[in-house]
Amino acid sequence: MQNPWANISWQNTVADCDKNIISPAYCVEKGIDISDLPEPFSGNIDSNVVCLNLNPGLNKCSCCFRNNEQFLRLTKETLDHRIDHSMWFEKIECKERIAHGGCDWWQKKTRKLCDIIRPKELNMFVIEFFPYHSDHAFTFPELPSDKYRNDLLKQAMDDDKLIVIMRGETRWYKIKEGIGDRLKQYGNKIVLTNPRNVYFSEKTIGEKWELFINYLNKDIVQKHRII
Instruction: Render pLDDT for 58-105 as a digit per residue (tens, 0 to 9).
Output: 887 778 888 889 999 999 999 999 999 999 999 888 887 888 889 999
**What are the domain boundaries of the chain?**
33-226
Distances (CA, A) of 90 to 62, 122, 127, 173, 216: 17, 12, 19, 32, 19
Distance separating alpha carbons of residues 104 and 127, to the nearest angstrom: 18
User: How much is the pLDDT for 111?
Assistant: 93
Residue 225 has pLDDT above 90, yes or no: no
Do the strands 41-42 and 125-128 form a parallel or antiparallel pair, or are they unpaired?
antiparallel
User: How much is the pLDDT for 1?
Assistant: 84
- Mean of the per-residue pLDDT values for the chain? 93
Distance separating alpha carbons of residues 166 and 194, to the nearest angstrom: 8
Residue 25 has pLDDT above 70, yes or no: yes
User: How much is the pLDDT for 37?
Assistant: 95
